[in-house]
């Protein structure tokens, strides 16, 4: 039997990837300003999930909250990676 991922799993990976891409993309374009990408994805995901999707797609609040959570999960992981990179870049050579 062939294994196929569920559409929900693919959608959640896509939401997390969109969140991470927003932070990493802004950090790549404008180093030190990944927070703009974090803010942008927060505003976008809030409007898309809780207004657009609830009206147009007819999703429930819990479905929208799950999607929003995955946007923020991806953005949070990307933010943590950026902060760790910034920390190690600021540590003098030989200290670690």
State the 10-residue block means of pLDDT for the chain, 96 residues long.
Answer: 79 96 94 92 96 92 96 97 90 73
Q: Which residues touch 61 (CB under 8 Å, ≥6 apart)?
A: 50, 54
The whole-number pLDDT of residue 96 equals 62
Give the C-alpha separation, 7 to 74, whole Å. 18
Record the pTM: 0.87
Given a contact cutoff of 8 angstroms between Cβ atoms, the answer to whether 40 and 58 are in contact is no
Give the C-alpha separation, 41 to 90, whole Å. 27
Report phi then psi at 94, rounded to 5. Answer: 90, -15
The whole-number pLDDT of residue 88 equals 87
Given a contact cutoff of 8 angstroms between Cβ atoms, the answer to whether 59 and 53 are in contact is yes
């Amino acid at each position: 039997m062939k294994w196929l991922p569920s559409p929900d799993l693919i959608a959640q990976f896509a939401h997390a990837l969109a969140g991470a891409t927003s932070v990493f993309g802004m950090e790549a374009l404008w180093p030190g300003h990944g927070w703009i990408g974090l803010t942008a994805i927060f505003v976008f995901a809030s409007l898309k999930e809780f207004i657009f999707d609830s009206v147009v797609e007819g999703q429930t609040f819990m479905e929208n909250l799950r999607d929003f959570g995955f946007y923020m999960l991806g953005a949070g992981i990307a933010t943590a990676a950026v902060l760790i990179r910034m920390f190690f870049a600021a540590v003098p050579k030989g200290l670690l």
